[in-house]
Structure 1
Amino acid sequence: MSSAPSASAASSIGSARPRLPKVPFWAQILLGLVLGVLLGWAARSGDVSWLVTTLDKIGSIFIQLLKLAVAPLVFFAILVSITNLRNVNNAARLATRTLLWFMITSLIAVAIGLAIGLVTNPGSGTGLTPRDGAKPEHAGSWLDFLTGIVPENVITPFTELNVLQIVFMAAVAGIAALQLGAKAEPILTLSHAILELLQKALWWVIRLAPLGTVGLIGYAIAEYGWDLIGKYATFTADIYIGCALVMFGVYPLLLSTVAKVNPLQFFRGAWPAIQLAFVSRSSVGTMPLTQKVTERLGVPKEYASFAVPFGSTTKMDGCASIYPAIAAIFIAQIFDVQLDVTDYLLIAFVSVVGSAATAGLTGATVMLTLTLSTLGLPLEGVGLLMAIDPILDMMRTATNVAGQALVPVLVSARERILDREAYANATSSPLEESHAAAEPAPVAA
């Protein structure tokens, strides 16, 4: 008489069942990129309007999901990060060193951007004229930047997604919580819980990145093709080369000389965040993943939870340094305006001081208008670059996020709080690890 299989036998049968191999996150993104290019090319070549619309909707929904949590995520991330500094030794020193390295790397990036622009003359031979430009609807100015930090009320910054004002309110709330001490503990407990909830929800969205990649890349190819890039060939190449020099030249040099660590290990650990930034074009949307990879690279959690949210809203080597430097030279050449040494110094100043104007959002139009208005260049030049902006923004944002992960590693290494063993072992994807951790453990017989 046969009996039902025991729990241990069932468990062994289940474990013996073949399982599909897991595809690494980076490979999923790469597959999405290739599929997006193929679908975009097919849609453009065959003039398939429904496919173009479908790709547009897929990409738009992915970006909307990322942006959905941006406002509360920034607020609670900054608030919690400031209060977490009380658990870190030499908190003021760490914050100062972080800001200092933000400035140093921004200056290096803007210098590279200026050098590339002066050597290549990106505005020459494009066939573009001032008539091709148009003023943007909203232009940034120093007065707007300074007065716009303080909101008129606590609701509007969230409804209008003014990240700079949200950062200001979060910083004030965080400092006030530190001053209140034990009285603020209930608020801080709630803030931690809300932040974890938001990050959990964003992790689900991030897992959709391969699908979002298909839509975003596919629509970009279908909409713009290669014809548009032809007019901006030198300018596009300048942005990509400048970002590549910073990301794969300057950053490894700093890692090997300042932090005394292996640069390849940094890219192994940070690559998932850099990939997502390239696709999503949002530093803030990538922030949970950036923080995760930074912690995996051996940066203490308490410090990473301050440095990464702070960097996601202010550290923009791609959008605020390389791009405005090359763009200003490009626009000056189109409008036949001669720039001198003073103008180049002003570009460097704006890149360091005004980088918070980009506020971690998709695009760098505000930063560019701020640079042009400071130099006295025509704001119509912004219109010349709007069509090509999505293609440029992918590389700019990837550079931003790489820098946001780099600086905490540099500071931690200099302050001797970097876990070098964790850094050396940071090879697998945080997405895969978090997914594995969520799987239930087998029940013992």
Structure 2
Amino acid sequence: MSTSAETAESSQAPQTPKSSRIPKVPFWVQILAGLALGVLLGWIAKSGDLGWLTSTLEHIGDLFVQLLKLAVAPLVFFAILVSITNLRQVNNAARLATRTLLWFMATSLIAVAIGLAIGLLTHPGAGTGLTPKDGKLPDHAGSWIDFLTGIVPTDIITPFTELNVLQIVFMAAVAGIAALQLGEKAEPVLKVSRSVLELLQKALWWVIRLAPIGTVGLIGNAIATYGWNLIGKYATFTVDIYVGCAIVLFGVYPLLLSTVAKVNPLQFFRGAWPAIQLAFVSRSSVGTMPVTQKVTERLGVPREYASFAVPFGSTTKMDGCASIYPAIAAIFIAQIFDVHLGIGDYILIAFVSVIGSAATAGLTGATVMLTLTLSTLGLPLEGVGLLMAIDPILDMMRTATNVAGQAVIPILVSAKEKILDRDAYASATSIRIGDTEAGTPATPEATPVPAAATAS
């Protein structure tokens, strides 16, 4: 009897399943592996003069960026449209929007001041061996007239075909405000808009999954095309940009989080790292926007407010591209062309950075913003040509800084308005790239991610 009882008891005992699945490789490990492989293949292509390998890497990187850009125009339009209408669900929406804009401007001013200080201390244009003859005029130059008149499109099709994000934002804002005025009559259109936005985010997530492969192509092509010799000519300038962005990213933002929002900055990096990492690889704030919004919500920002602040920030909040970069670049170009800059010029640089950051439009590169700054200062636009060769290397760190700022500001505003979910913020260490996918609910039981881990 005892034997049969033991047998019955053992048969009822839970059996430990044997795991036959291959362990998932964390997304941040995949990205780092892509970076390492890209550097290796780029070095092999450069040192071995392997044109076919360089071409392959270029096509892989271009295809990844092209897939990201494919969804940019409709994503921006519907994200801005839906985000504006979502504000009606938030108390004190006007005050939230105003505070968001003021914080955008304040942090931009801090960032440009840091850029100017670094440029004045290091003299990035001295001893480079570059001369005015090395520069060339850009294909397109930005001006205040173009910026102001270019906001309003001439038709509703061209902004989408030419990917003019600033005009797309304008049309979306007008449509969103009109929908707010119409109230219930606009609900059928809003319902379709929300569905289209979710569809676009889902499709973009498939592209984001390809980021490790895209990393191989983007990094590899940069190394194979430009090589270390060219980077050496811009060594001081490159270090200045990375140091300036690092000070803002790991100094200013944590300081604001700890003093203004009174939260642990390390929790921010644990939660926001997927977006920062993807921004570094993709070099696109707009392409990173779905990830940025999800991690911001996971960090305790109310969804209704995050759905406004993040899309708005992804097209206007550019501390890396529109503040640090043009400040240091203007000093660099002035030194190359032997042009003296005075106090008034530095004030103009700050003004352009704070007011004109929307010109960057959340796309890869900051050429428009740089030409806008140079034309305002009266500096030779040929200086843009000096920086184009090194731009992809710089743009990675700039975009990572941009996206971090786009996540920080909603946290600051939410904390000041006392709508930040501090319990959600404190548990943000469990965010994984797989959990931030569109439509995936939050799961507190998710596997923890290291502080410098897990992503445009």
Relative to the length of structure 2, the TM-score reads: 0.92
Q: Deviations over 1:348-382 (max 9, x none)?
A: 00001000000001000000000000001111110
**How far is the alpha carbon of 1:438 from its aligned partner?**
7.2
Q: Deviations over 1:156-191 (max 9, x none)?
A: 000000000000000000000000001000000000
Contact 2:249–2:404 (CA under 8 A) maintained in structure 1: yes
Of the three residues 82, 97, 100, the one matched with 1:98 is 100
> Deviating runs (4+, > 4 A) in structure 1?
12-15, 434-439
Aligned residue type for 1:338:
H
Which residue of the partner structure matches residue 324 of structure 1?
326
Q: Distance in 2 between matches of 1:429 and 1:260?
A: 21
Which residue of the partner structure matches residue 380 of structure 1?
382
* Equivalenced residues, count: 429
Of the three residues 291, 294, 297, the one matched with 2:293 is 291
Name the CA shift for 1:170/1:263 in 2 (closer, same or farther; >3 Å).
same
Aligned residue type for 2:103:
W
Q: Distance in 1 between matches of 2:279 and 2:435?
A: 20
Percentage of matched positions with identical amino acids: 82
Alignment of 1:310-321 (within 5 A): 310-321=312-323
Aligned residue type for 1:258:
V
Aligned residue type for 2:211:
A
Of the three residues 145, 157, 160, the one matched with 1:158 is 160
2:128 is aligned with 1:119? no
Aligned residue type for 1:336:
D
Which residue of the partner structure matches residue 361 of structure 1?
363
Q: Distance in 2 between matches of 1:140 and 1:46?
A: 40
Q: Secondary structure at the match of 2:430?
A: coil
Contact 1:37–1:218 (CA under 8 A) maintained in structure 2: yes
Of the three residues 253, 268, 271, the one matched with 1:266 is 268
Contact 1:207–1:431 (CA under 8 A) maintained in structure 2: no
Relative to the length of structure 1, the TM-score reads: 0.94
**How far is the alpha carbon of 1:252 from its aligned partner?**
0.5
Which residue of the partner structure matches residue 401 of structure 1?
403
Contact 2:136–2:384 (CA under 8 A) maintained in structure 1: yes
In structure 1, runs of 5+ residues without a counterpart are 1-8, 440-445
**How far is the alpha carbon of 1:16 from its aligned partner?**
2.4
Contact 1:133–1:383 (CA under 8 A) maintained in structure 2: yes
Alignment of 1:180-259 (within 5 A): 180-259=182-261
Q: Distance in 2 between matches of 1:435 and 1:352?
A: 33
Q: Distance in 2 between matches of 1:435 and 1:121?
A: 44
Aligned residue type for 1:214:
V
Q: Distance in 1 between matches of 2:419 and 2:385?
A: 46
Of the three residues 23, 28, 39, the one matched with 1:26 is 28
Aligned residue type for 2:236:
T
Q: Secondary structure at the match of 1:89?
A: coil
Of the three residues 390, 412, 415, the one matched with 2:414 is 412
2:42 is aligned with 1:40? yes
Aligned residue type for 1:369:
T
**How far is the alpha carbon of 1:13 from its aligned partner?**
9.3
Q: Secondary structure at the match of 1:226?
A: helix
Which residue of the partner structure matches residue 79 of structure 1?
81
Contact 1:24–1:429 (CA under 8 A) maintained in structure 2: no
Aligned residue type for 2:327:
A
Which residue of the partner structure matches residue 448 of structure 2?
none
In structure 2, runs of 5+ residues without a counterpart are 1-10, 442-456
Q: Distance in 1 between matches of 2:136 and 2:349?
A: 22
